[in-house]
Amino acid sequence: MGRAPCCDKANVKKGPWSPEEDAKLKEYIEKQGTGGNWIALPQKAGLKRCGKSCRLRWLNYLRPNIKHGEFSDDEDRIICSLYANIGSRWSIIAAQLPGRTDNDIKNYWNTKLKKKLMGMINPIAQRKPQQAAHVSSLLQPTSLPSSPSTPLSSSPSSFACNNSNYYNLARSFTEPISFSATPLSNSSFTTSASSMLQPQETFVGPMQNYQVKDSLIMFGGEASCSSSDGSCNNQMSHVNEGYEYGGGANNNTEQMGLQNYLYNGVEEDRRLMVSSGEAAHGVLNGWTEKQNGLWPGDNSLDYGLEEIKQLISTDSCNSFLFDENKSGEKAMYY
């Protein structure tokens, strides 16, 4: 038996919302709340709309503190980093960007940021290595601290993309990203998200709630709302209640839930992002394969999501390799 439709499709209005409808919905929710039942809401509010449509309109457009307009470089960085870590989990990404909705971020990624990223990567990738080194160096603000010096393998075939990959991606933009972090083990990898963080570095900015402590990644402090429901009770918000998610064993099932999410849900990312060992080969392989397609003759921007994720990580590795302070390591790669 099929699922009953959430509303009477024949009697609901579709398409763009009129100002009158917006006003009705806003007024009703501000006075009555959603009542925990979106399906019943339109009838109560006097709207000929599907409950889902009302919910979407409220969350993506009408609710207070929605931020519209240009995304900042910080926001770009956060989106890129999180995308590379967890993929298209837009609601989770949105939870880290107060005022932004998952729909906004998704649209922004698909229409602008992906191209922006490709625009940064392709000019590099399509050049010969010597040229690429120059272009890449232009993308690196020299005022930022240099990457931690996790040793690279002496063999090109076992080149290691270390934990600096996100850091270097971030450095491709113009402003510092914001973490406070304490040292991670050189050899261990805790969660994929932790690969964003660098030992003994402290930054300031919009992600104060995001910390690494004793190799555990922690989320704390004031909640940031995503579009999930406007009330911050999404997956990430659980951590605002004091949970910690990390590499160690624990008995908290909810904690384990997200930990598993971070571990299993991004298994593939982890293969790409971890600091050493086999996973690094994945990065190298990914880059090598892409390299074959990107140098002269390939001007395609038509990447799949996994490819883009690889590009994000490999570009970061690439940036690391091209770091002007690490010319010797450049030579190792080529």
Partner DNA sequence: AAGGAGTTCAACCGCCGGTAC
Partner DNA sequence: TGTACCGGCGGTTGAACTCCT
Report if residue 102 touches DNA, rule: CB under 7 A.
Answer: yes
Q: Give how far the C-alpha of residue 189 lies from the chain's centroid of Cα atoms, to the nearest Å.
A: 19
- Which among 56-64, 149-157, 196-204, 264-272 is the span making contact with DNA, rule CB under 7 A? 56-64
Q: How far is the CB of 48 from DNA (least distance, A)?
A: 11
Indicate which single residue of 26, 67, 106, 281 sits in contact with DNA (rule: CB under 7 A): 106
> Is-contact 172 314, C-beta < 8 A?
no
Q: Indicate whether 61 belongs to the interface with DNA (CB under 7 A).
A: yes
- What is the β-pairing status of strands 244-246 and 216-219? antiparallel
Shortest distance (Å) from residue 91 CB to DNA:
3
Judged by CB under 7 A, the stretch of 1-9, 238-246, 284-292, 315-323 that binds DNA is 1-9
Q: What is the C-alpha to C-alpha distance for residues 238 and 248, in angstroms, rounded to an integer? A: 18
Enumerate residues 6+ apart whose C-beta is below 8 A from 249: none
In whole angstroms, the minimum distance from the beta carbon of 1 to DNA comes to 5
Residue closer to DNA (CB basis): 76 or 102: 102
Residue of 29, 78, 92, 184 interacting with DNA (CB under 7 A): 92
Is 279 within 8 Å of 272 (Cβ atoms)? yes
Contact set for DNA, span 233-272 (CB under 7 A): 233-235
CA distance 247 to 259: 8
Among 68, 251, 264, 328, binds DNA (CB under 7 A): 68
Residue 89 or 270 having the CB closest to DNA: 89
* CB closer to DNA out of 12 and 332: 12
- Closest contact distance (angstroms) between CB of 94 and DNA is 7
Instruction: List helix spans (H) across the chain.
Output: 19-32, 41-45, 51-57, 73-86, 90-95, 102-108, 114-125, 129-138, 164-171, 253-264, 267-273, 278-294, 305-322, 327-333
